[in-house]
Structure 1
Amino acid sequence: MENKQKVVFVGAGSMAEAMISGMLQKELFAPSQITVINRSNTERIDYLQMTYGIHTTQNKEITLKNADIMILAMKPKDVVEGVTNIREFVNSRQLIISVLAGVATTTITDLLQTKVAVIRAMPNTSATIGKSATALSVGKYATEEDLNIAHQLFTTIGIVTTVAEKDLHAVTGLSGSGPAYVYYLVEAMEKAADEIGLEKKIAKELILQTIIGAAEMLKTSTKQPAILRREVTSPGGTTEAGIKVLEQFHYQEAMISCIKRATTRSSELGEALTQSTASQD
């Protein structure tokens, strides 16, 4: 990637900040190469400028026209208005990267009314600590070089994989929403710890290290999760007693249904947006 490229974030939320932080920490870009614009929250823009030394702008037209990479990071519900407002400044030499959940690359190119390269990304909120699991897919006009640029960019905030765009709804349901499922589990563990009489600080340390240790085991071991589970489940022991209760409450079935429903919801939201966009043509 050329170190003279200019990047513009359209939207200034937590994902934009996570990406900016990662790009600067890995020295992929200098602060002078990055500009952030958004619709109205000047306080947020000022914060990003002071924290990271990046640019803000009073001249959106020149900034967008001169951008090499444009990252769409507004709320998905604002995509029609947001993209429509910038399309007169977009040209076919640019690369558009979208982190908008459920928004198809074709929706973006239709809104832009330009044959421009679009890469769609689904990171997750662990991007804020450089631990995102991000999936990328390419739009109709994107090249292998465009994909490489996007891959390099998202590597600064975690691991990256490439999937067919049709699979991004599944990625959204699995890893995009995934951190919330883990937080929900930890909530339950903390409540249980309180009910069995453990002091909160001690319980939190034990729970977090348990989650971290289990994740590291899964990452480093060649054994399947079911094997690792069985190895710590002695017949007649405490773990078996606990697992039996989870089975009674259909724990695995609930998690599977959770991920399937989140996947379906991503598809529903994307379809609704596609229909909304079509009705405006």
Structure 2
Amino acid sequence: MHTIAVIGAGKIGELVLSGLLRSGWPVEKLLVTARRPERAKELTERYGIRVVDNLAAVSEADVLAVAVKPQDAGALLDEIGTKIPTDKLIVSLCAGLPTSFFTLRLPEGTPVVRVMTNTPALVDEAMTAISAGPHATGAHLAIVEEMFTPLGATIRVPESQQDAVTALSGSGPAYFYLLVEAMIDAGILLGLPRQVAHELIVQTAIGSAVMLRDSGEHPVKLREQVTSPAGTTISAIRELENHGVRAALLSALEAARDRAREIASQSG
């Protein structure tokens, strides 16, 4: 089993770290780096994990999962890039950064795999998209799938699609939370207690998601099963269409994709 070092112990780094531990990855095969001593102490106490500096991570780990903020990735690679042997696998979790950002700053031939996961990894229901850089092989992708499959579903996509993935599933949980929040507020407006509205909407969301996943039906067909002629549902859908909800979602996802591209261009 490979030794993995998570470089950068922010939200995404800890999400990956905790998921690996839940999946049964041996704690002695995991390392983490943290800039702040108090953060290092917190991680050690919470997970029993060994916290090392970046150069020790490079020396000891087979896989380096880079989970720093995109704007910090350049400084990190300035520190460790030339010291990384080409037999190490670099797994980038830096939203918006292409694999070329890394290959330009690493020794020639170093394999890089770009990953976009999302926060449902905390409950082992993530959607993780994986893309190979120019030197990454099928074997490297298999290692990354081994890391992330216990956290939910994985899919391989061409790197050219990663900005769209970021907009759709990377940021996707926030869209659903916003929708649920609005529906709970609507329930309160309609006279329901907040807790009742919360339970109704959350379970409805869970049930609908499971039906989408397990039935194999197109969402249009599932929606039509709920939509009776001249009924309550079609009246609600008409109002959603009148307010441009579909168009707003299209614009929102385009904006998220464009921001991902901006992050890449700003990082050089």
TM-score by structure 1 length?
0.91
The superposition leaves residues 209-231 of structure 1 with CA deviations (integer Å, 9 ceiling, x where unpaired) of 01011111111223211111112
Whichever residue aligns with residue 19 of structure 1, its letter is V
The amino acid across from 1:44 in the alignment is R
Contact 1:119 1:138 in 2 (8 A): yes
Output one character per residue of 1:237-274: Cα deviation in whole Å (capped at 9) or x when no partner. 11111111001001111111211221122122212222
The question of 1:9 aligning with 2:6 is answered: yes
User: In structure 1, how many angstroms separate the alpha carbons of the residues matched to 2:30 and 2:14?
Assistant: 11
Contact 2:66 2:94 in 1 (8 A): yes
Please give the secondary structure, in 2, of the residue aligned with 1:111. Answer: coil
Given that 1:93 and 1:116 are in contact with CA atoms closer than 8 Å, whether structure 2 keeps it comes out as: yes
Aligned to 2:210: 216
Correspondences of 1:1-281 after superposition (within 5 Å): 3=1, 5-27=2-24, 29-38=25-34, 40-57=35-52, 60-274=54-268
Counterpart AA for 1:15: I
Q: Is the contact between residue 14 and residue 128 of structure 1 (CA under 8 Å) also seen in structure 2?
A: no
Check conservation: 1:132, 1:157, Cα contact below 8 A: yes
Question: How has the CA–CA distance of structure 1 residues 220 and 60 changed in structure 2, closer, same or farther, with 3 Å as cutoff?
Answer: closer
Identity %: 37
Q: CA RMSD in A?
A: 1.4
Q: Offset of 1:148 from its aligned partner?
A: 0.5
Aligned residue for 1:278? Answer: none
SS of the equivalent of 1:140 reads coil
Amino acid at match of 2:51: T
Contact 2:32 2:57 in 1 (8 A): no
**Structure 2 unaligned spans of 5+:** none
Amino acid across the alignment from 1:263 = R
One-letter code aligned to 1:185: L
Instruction: With the length of structure 2 as denominator, give the TM-score of the two structures.
Output: 0.95
- Secondary structure of residue in 2 paired with 1:219: helix
| Alpha-carbon distance in structure 1 between the residues aligned to 2:56 and 2:221 | 58
